[in-house]
Each structure stands twice: as structure tokens, then as C-alpha cells.
A and B are shown apart, each in its own frame.
Chain A
């Protein structure tokens, strides 16, 4: 069973602004019955460019209905320019979060909004049509590369699984997984990954000595010890001297012929990854 927030449940059980606006200024239709969820969003805009009314019709699961309902609430009273800034993350946040596998519901909301605004400006019909310049990546759900790239950037997606959670691409036959990996690499090449300037290059960078010691301790306690204990061994932190960490193996590990390997491949590797690449580990 999905864990939905109380806000999601409330919007699902008591949807706001469900229905249709006849002769709406803008209509956006996205998704399809075949794909398992679909949303038609209506917006009514006054002369001052303010959205005075919005309604929705949704076919889909609880989170799809809740995302649509929330979106209409967010829209009413905003100017079109303000509305344009709403992202799928904003919708999810408004709802108190969505299960990751359901993020595509919030993406659907954002796409419908974009389409409705275009439609209002006379730039597009209600139903989204993809430009033929884009590349169809996921044939099962009809998802194009631009949508995927957009979702990767907007949400800082890091894995193919995430792409599926947010866009559904790759959730059908799985044929396009390789393409998704390519797009992911492409997007990351464009600096979606945190750049060195705003992200420390290793976790302990800039830490005080005490903070660094605590970090080493907790990596040993939380990550290394459980691995060793699974094999009947154990480890104790003896001392930390600048970048040398002294440890002692216990239990099965203490007389294990491969303990030197464990020292380097497990303990040192883990500490270098989680704390500081300059650390060396010695048995003391």
C-alpha cells in the first residue's frame, strides 16, 4: 500500500474544483487512458491576466487526482506569469510530498498547466502535440527526449529508476533503458550534477577535527561494522592521527587470513569514500 500524506488523501477524497469550464480561455490535455493516467485542465483568465477559475478532469490513481486538485487550488488567484513558474516539485510540496514512484503524477500536472497556458495564448491546441524534432524515447508511454531531459534537470534525477518514477519512461517493455542511460549521461554532462563550487568535493572538507572524528566513528559504526559482523567479525576504532586511522580487528576477523585485504578493500575504501580520500587505515 502506498503511503500518502494526509493532504494527498484529503484532496483525493474531497477533490477541489473537479469538473469542466465551458468555453475556458485555456485547456490542456495530457496523458491518455492507455497510459493509465490523463488530465484535462481548464483555466479561466481575466483582463488583468489573473487566473480566476480552474477546473480539472482526471483519470488516474489517488495521487493523480490529488495532484490535479492541488494544482487548481494553487492556480486560482495567480497571474499567468506566476502560474508559469509552478513546477512539479511545487505541486508535490503542496501535497506534503508524494511517494517517489508517484512523482509522475505531479509532472503530469505541470505539463497540463504548460499546455493550458499555450492554448490560452493561441499557440497550441488543447492536446499536447510533440514537435517532430524531438526523439520518441519510450514507445510504451509515448515519452519524448525533451520531457525526459526536462524532468532530469528540474528534479536533479540520478538514475534510470528515478526517470521512470518521474516520467514513466522505461516503465513498460524496458526497451528504452539504454536510451535513458544515454540521456542521463547527457544531462549530467551539462552540469546537472552539483558543481565543485557549491558542493564539497569530499564529505569531510571544511570540517573541524572533532566533526571529522565523529564522522569517522559513525562510518565505522554504521557501515563498516555491520558488514564485518555479517561474517562473524568485528572492528574497533583505536586512534586517529591526522590522516591515519588506527583500528583493531576482532572476532573472526582477527585471525582471518584475508584481514589485510579487508583492511584495504573494505575499511579504507569506505572511509575514503565517506570521509576523506586522503585517509589511510592501519591495524594498531
Chain B
């Protein structure tokens, strides 16, 4: 049986067309675009094309794109740049549901470098309150960083409104759009975002390439210092194959987004509706209305996520979980905790994230397989709706 891959928020399959596009740059056109000879120089033309393709997808200028090594580097660069460019401003606003690329950095900045950080909380569906945001802004706020779409729940945040609030208050605004780019339309001409991060491997390009959009005229401080690549904004010989692949992936996303979203969303909705219907004590996590079309995060009560995933693995179904045991940490996902999902459900959360490569047959197979997996694990469990969680001294704190 073939692998059923429903873990596309973790990483995606490189599209064959993307792979074909990048291949010649490994063994044939392997030159360095900075070289003085035509052999190297010719690669520069392809980088330019790639930059244009990324810019087209985001509707920005090619000059505003800096290629990086991954989403995490883009995030780190953006935050550090805003702080270094405004040394007198020592306050950061972000949310409790960001990816660790932002959260761990902010924790580090607070602990080791004395910055002040405000973490906006969420409601039970993971939504943030824009009044909260407005009230947190201070004179010394250097940057607001809020993700466009959440990797665990798929929640889409009202970035247009948030960007406007930031601009009205003269605060630099960065968004981690790693999960949004390629999945939902983004228009940087219309939305006053200052910086935006994206990562290739989430949209069918390979791992190890990302980009940071930096709006023209925004004061910028490089993260990696060295050669003059990326107009001295990011040193290091260009990852030519990766960049060219990312360009192609953006072009494909641009071409297919509308049709794909309908197809992927239909499959996701079918999967979600059927699972929620056929499995008792299952709940949907997140904001049902404002969500990425590919993501569904479902909690199955009274069973544990890692056990569910390993059972699914027996059927070659790939997904992920917000349970404590899968992360190597001992607490369930910070996103579910921020939302206040009860323990009875937080440990049993499974995230299905689809892509254009999933088929209806695959969805049907998962729909058919999941109920027995959950039923069998519940047979082992000492808990049930009748015998719910005994009290624990536990109190989560951030």
C-alpha cells in the first residue's frame, strides 16, 4: 500500500516540475552567480527570474525579496533587524500561538537580552482580540510579529487589520506567513506589512530555502554578515538550486491556487465531517470559519496522540499530533494550551494537513480506518466520558 501523506504542514513533497527546474543547476550550471565569467553569471539570470516569481505571488517588488535558508532564519532576521534598527525601543508584541521560530527567540530575547515581550492570548478557538493588541502597543514597541496562519490549527489571523493597526501606531509589523504562502492569496501592495517570512518546503519546494520580504525603505540590519549577496542584506553564496526551485513553486502556487483550494478544501471538509460524525467524543480545534483550506485539527477524547499516530502508521497514514509525547516535551502543544483545550482532549489531538497530491480514495481510506483505531485505544484507556479525568494538581503556566 502507498503512503497516505496528510502531514503537509510539517513539510511537502517537492513537485516534479519544481525538481525538473532545479536539476540542471546541480551538475551542469553549477557556477557561482557572483563570478566574473559567463558560466557563473548565467545563473544570475535564473535567480532573477526566481525572485520575480516569488514577488509576483506576493504582489511586491523583486528587490523586496531576500532569500534565506529557511522560515526560521527569516523570522530571526526580521525580529533582530527591527530591534537593531531601533535601539531605543525594547518592547515586542507577539502571540502565544506562534511557531517556536518566533516564540523561543522572544523568550531568549527577554531572558538573555532584557527585552520586554507581550504575548497576546487567544480565545477557545485560537482567535486573538484586536483590542488587546491595540492596548498593548507602547511608545517603546519595536515590532509586532503575528503569524498569518497557524501551523497546528490552520487558523488565519486578520493580518490586513493587524497591519493597519501597527502602521497607524508607527510600529514595524512582521508576519510569519510560512503556512499561508501558496495556500491563500497574499497581496503586499494592498496590505501594509513591513516584513513577511516564508519557507520553501511548505509549498512543494525543497527544504533549506526561504525568503524574507522587506518593504522598500524599511530600515534593515542584516543577520548574516559577510559577502555582498542579496545586496548585502544576507551574506552567503546563494542556494541557487533552492532559490530556483522556490521560484518555480511560487509560480505553480500562483497558477493553481484557486482551483486547488476548492479541491483540497472539499477533501478536508469531507474528512473532517465524517470523522467528527463517526467518532464519538471528538472535537474540532481552531476557528472553523477562518482556516487554511488544507488543515483540520481534531481531538479524540480519552486517548493519547502518540499512540494514535503509531496506530495510523501501521496503515501508512502520516499526520501529526499536539500531544506531549510526540514533541519530546511533557506538555501538550502550546497552541492548544493557549486555547484552553481541556486535558481530556488536548493530549489526543491529531492534525491532518492535506495538499494537492491527496486523493479522494485516500480520504475515504482514512475515514474508514480511524474509528477502529480510536475505538481500540479507548478499550485500553481507564478513562471515558463516564469516568472522566480525576483532578490533578496541574496548573499550566507560561
Contact = CB atoms under 8 A, between A and B. Distances in A.
A65 B302 CA distance: 14
Nearest to B398: A173
Interface stretch (A164-172, A193-201, A204-212, A217-225): A164-172
A89 to B, nearest CB: 21
B302 A33 contact: yes
Interface residues of A, number: 39
Q: Which of A36, A39, A164 has the most CB of B within 10 A?
A: A36
Contacts of A101: 328
B389 A33 contact: yes
Interface in A134-187: 136, 139-142, 164, 168, 171-173, 175
Interface string B254-297: 00000000000000000000000000000000000000000000
Interface in B376-398: 379-383, 388-398
Contacts of A139: 393-395
A230 interface: no
Q: Which of B311, B332, B388, B392 has the most CB of A within 10 A?
A: B392
B304 interface: yes
A18 B379 CA distance: 8
A18 B378 CA distance: 11
A256 interface: no
Interface residues of B, number: 37
Nearest to A56: B380
B220 interface: no
Nearest to B303: A59
Nearest to A130: B393
Interface string B284-326: 0000000000000000001111110011001000000001111
Contact of B380 (A29, A36, A58, A127): A58
A13 to B, nearest CB: 7
A18 B303 CA distance: 15
Contact of A12 (B307, B330, B332, B397): B307
B16 interface: no
A18 B389 contact: no
A18 to B, nearest CB: 5
Interface in B341-398: 343-344, 347, 379-383, 388-398
Contacts of A164: 330
B304 A60 contact: yes
B397 A36 contact: no
Interface in B9-34: none
Nearest to A32: B392
Nearest to B302: A59
A18 B380 contact: yes
B382 A64 contact: no
Interface in A37-77: 37-40, 56-62, 64-65
Given A59-B303, A140-B394, A33 B343 contact: yes
A261 interface: no
Interface in A75-112: 101-102
Given A35-B392, A39-B382, A101-B328, A173 B397 contact: yes
Contact of B381 (A58, A62, A127, A175): A58
B230 interface: no
A34 B395 CA distance: 9
A171 B383 contact: no
Contacts of B314: 13
A15 B307 CA distance: 12
Contacts of B344: 33
Contacts of A102: 325
A60 B307 contact: yes
A15 B379 CA distance: 11
Contacts of A61: 304-307, 323, 325-326
B3 interface: no
Nearest to B394: A34
B395 A59 contact: no
Q: Which of B326, B328, B380, B390 has the most CB of A within 10 A?
A: B380
Given A29-B382, A168-B330, A173 B310 contact: no
Contact of A62 (B307, B379, B388, B395): B307
B187 interface: no
Given A33-B343, A35-B394, A59-B302, 17 more contacts: A32-B392, A33-B390, A34-B389, A34-B391, A40-B382, A59-B304, A60-B304, A60-B307, A61-B325, A62-B306, A139-B393, A139-B394, A139-B395, A140-B394, A164-B330, A172-B396, A173-B397
22 contacts: A15-B380, A18-B379, A29-B382, A32-B389, A32-B394, A33-B302, A33-B344, A33-B383, A33-B389, A36-B325, A36-B330, A40-B382, A58-B381, A59-B303, A59-B382, A61-B326, A65-B307, A101-B328, A140-B394, A168-B330, A171-B329, A175-B397
Task: List the 3 closest pairs (A to B, CB-CB), nearest first.
Answer: A171-B330, A33-B389, A34-B392
Interface of A: 2, 12-13, 15, 18-19, 29, 32-40, 56-62, 64-65, 101-102, 127, 136, 139-142, 164, 168, 171-173, 175
